[in-house]
Amino acid sequence: MVPTADHFDVVVIGGGPGGYAAALYGASAGLNIALIEKRWIGGTCLNVGCIPAKELLETAHVHRTVTEAASFGINAGEPQVDWSVTQQRKQAVVDELVGGVTTLLKGRKVTVYEGYGRLHAGRTVSVDPSDGSDRFEVTGDAVIIAAGSETRTIPGFDVDGTVVMTSDEVLSMPEIPGTAVVIGGGAIGCEFASMMSDMGSQVTVLEALPKILPGVDKDVTSMVERSFKKRGIEVRTGVTVTGHEPGDGGTVVNVEGADPIKTDVVVVSVGRKPATDDLGLDGTQVQLDERGFVQVDEVCRTGEEGVWAVGDCIATPALAHVGFAEGMVAIDGILGEDARPVDYGKVPWGIYCRPEVAFAGHSEQSAKEAGLDVVASKHRFTANSRAKIIGDQEGLVKVIATKTADGKAGTIVGVHMVGPWVTEQLGQGYLAVNWEATVDEVAAFIQPHPTLSELFGDTVQDMTGRRLH
């Protein structure tokens, strides 16, 4: 007989953003919570995702700043890279943030079990401790599955961690490669292509679809593609890769109907898969869809009474902040409160390549596909004073609004941005879209001068028919 350790208000399986958000938020509401984590608190995001990826992109930014310093009259010479220090700094940032979440969990008296969790009937969760000790069981009035996602690859590209890598390995690679082929031009592919190129690699991006960055407005994507090209990053779209032939120190990637590409490393970034292969689920009504995602309703409830699922293991945008939001929705539901569903079409997205991309709501294309009659306005950073001051004028702001009966711009349904620090500028665009604000309402607000965010104000004002700049 497997011993039952304890009973909790909520048992959470997985300690990534979805799971730890549920635990912290639930504990702050007075719930007694257990969290089971098989490997590392913070999950993908803190350990092999958002945080280390952005930290390395920041290193690339510093490299660029030093390279361009002479134009400001600061002669710093050619930047010399000490990649081991780069790696140490990245790991220190990760470790501090993981430590911070661990401390928060402890402070809120969340019981953390280091081990592998599986759900069984009656909201019983078995735990196989990571230290190899005997399996035990915990039970909960409610259970939240937050098992997250894992890297995936494609046939012909077995991951060996040195020549063929996924994001997991790229983040810890021992040196910057001379040449890199990135398969998949989504968020991960573009961030790594940008980072490696800024650090001196010759990068080729191979994307199967006709354009990179799926879901992003075409004007924004075109600007990223143009910028990549200017910096020597080759982007090939509509490409089929068939495999690779390893040679001395590198490999040759075979591309259907085109010349093979010799490269030091291959980065496979073709999407991720839910980590749901071995979650137990016997004797429960929790269902997986054909791709392995846990099926939930609009407030994250599974088919099993008292069992919720959140984060990358459900088929919603795979973003840390969406995981946070879903964790809180699940807790609100568990508390018997009126849980407000996440409006997935309006969540904020930030992609931290150079130039940065940020958006919320419809692109012009998706608005039209949804049958909306829309008008769009776009303005470039070229004439923005702060962009000139910082020496980074590449980018634009595009606002998409419904068309009123008299042909004017009405409610803002999408804000898409590309350019300097747009991930930090999206806030007011996100609010406008989610508040369903009109162009007239937003245009009445003023922007501080000189700021990059003036461009958002200018773009919205232009849609009223009047303009300043």
Instruction: State which of residues 49, 185, 361, 395 lies at the interface with ligand FAD (CB under 6 A).
Output: 49
Site string for ligand NAI, 12-31 (x = CB under 6 A): --------------------
38 touches ligand NAI (CB under 6 A): no
Catalytic residue flag (residue 469): no
CB 374 within 8 A of CB 367: yes
Instruction: State which of residues 318, 331, 367, 463 lies at the interface with ligand FAD (CB under 6 A).
Output: 318
Task: Name residues contacting ligand NAI, limited to 218-257 (CB under 6 A).
Answer: 241
Interatomic CA distance for residues 117 and 128, integer angstroms: 7
Q: Kindly report the number of other CB atoms within 10 A of residue 76's CB atom.
A: 12
Whose CA is closest to 355, among 303, 298, 382, 395?
Answer: 395
Smallest distance, ligand NAI to C-beta of residue 316, A: 10
Stretch that binds ligand FAD, among 31-39, 93-101, 201-209, 211-219 (CB under 6 A): 31-39
Instruction: State which of residues 12, 22, 44, 270 lies at the interface with ligand FAD (CB under 6 A).
Output: 44
CB 356 within 8 A of CB 419: yes
Task: Name residues contacting ligand FAD, limited to 410-439 (CB under 6 A).
Answer: none
Radius of gyration (C-alpha) of the chain in whole angstroms: 24
429 touches ligand NAI (CB under 6 A): no
Interatomic CA distance for residues 105 and 185, integer angstroms: 36
Interatomic CA distance for residues 272 and 150, integer angstroms: 6
354 touches ligand FAD (CB under 6 A): no
Size of the site for ligand NAI (CB under 6 A): 26
426 touches ligand NAI (CB under 6 A): no
Q: Which does 207 bind (CB under 5 to 8 A by kind): ligand NAI, ligand FAD, none?
A: ligand NAI
Interatomic CA distance for residues 361 and 353, integer angstroms: 20
Interatomic CA distance for residues 250 and 179, integer angstroms: 9
19 touches ligand FAD (CB under 6 A): yes
CB 20 within 8 A of CB 105: yes
Q: Kindly report the number of other CB atoms within 10 A of residue 368's CB atom.
A: 14
140 touches ligand FAD (CB under 6 A): no
Task: Name residues contacting ligand NAI, limited to 281-320 (CB under 6 A).
Answer: 317-319
Instruction: State which of residues 5, 29, 208, 372 lies at the interface with ligand NAI (CB under 6 A).
Output: 208
CB 420 within 8 A of CB 388: no
138 touches ligand FAD (CB under 6 A): no
* Identity of the residue, 13 or 267, whose beta carbon is nearer to ligand NAI in the bound complex: 267
CB 97 within 8 A of CB 51: yes
206 touches ligand NAI (CB under 6 A): yes
Stretch that binds ligand FAD, among 144-152, 173-181, 440-448, 460-468 (CB under 6 A): 144-152
Smallest distance, ligand NAI to C-beta of residue 423, A: 8
CB 414 within 8 A of CB 367: yes
298 φ/ψ angles, rounded to the nearest 5 degrees: -70, -10
Smallest distance, ligand NAI to C-beta of residue 91, A: 19
Residue carrying the six token digits 């080759």: 234
- 321 bridge partner residues: none
Instruction: State which of residues 115, 148, 189, 333 lies at the interface with ligand NAI (CB under 6 A).
Output: 189
Please give the structure tokens belonging to residue 381: 């950073």
All residues at 6 or more sequence positions from 437 whose CB lies less than 8 Å from its CB, including other chains: 411, 412, 431
Please give the structure tokens belonging to residue 462: 């232009």
272 touches ligand NAI (CB under 6 A): yes
- 145 bridge partner residues: 13, 309
* Identity of the residue, 90 or 379, whose beta carbon is nearer to ligand FAD in the bound complex: 90
Q: Which does 364 bind (CB under 5 to 8 A by kind): ligand FAD, ligand NAI, none?
A: none
> With 0-12 CB in 10 A as exposed, 13-18 as middle and 19+ as buried, what is 288?
middle
**Per the residue annotation, which of 63, 120, 244, 449 is the catalytic one?**
449
24 touches ligand FAD (CB under 6 A): no
Please give the structure tokens belonging to residue 41: 């608190």
Residues lying near ligand FAD in the complex (CB under 6 A) are found at: 13-19, 36-40, 43-45, 49-50, 53-54, 116-117, 146-149, 167, 188, 275, 279, 311-312, 318-321, 323
Q: Which positions are annotated as active-site residues? A: 449
Contacts to ligand NAI by CB under 6 A:
154, 183-189, 191, 206-209, 214, 241, 269-272, 317-319, 349-352
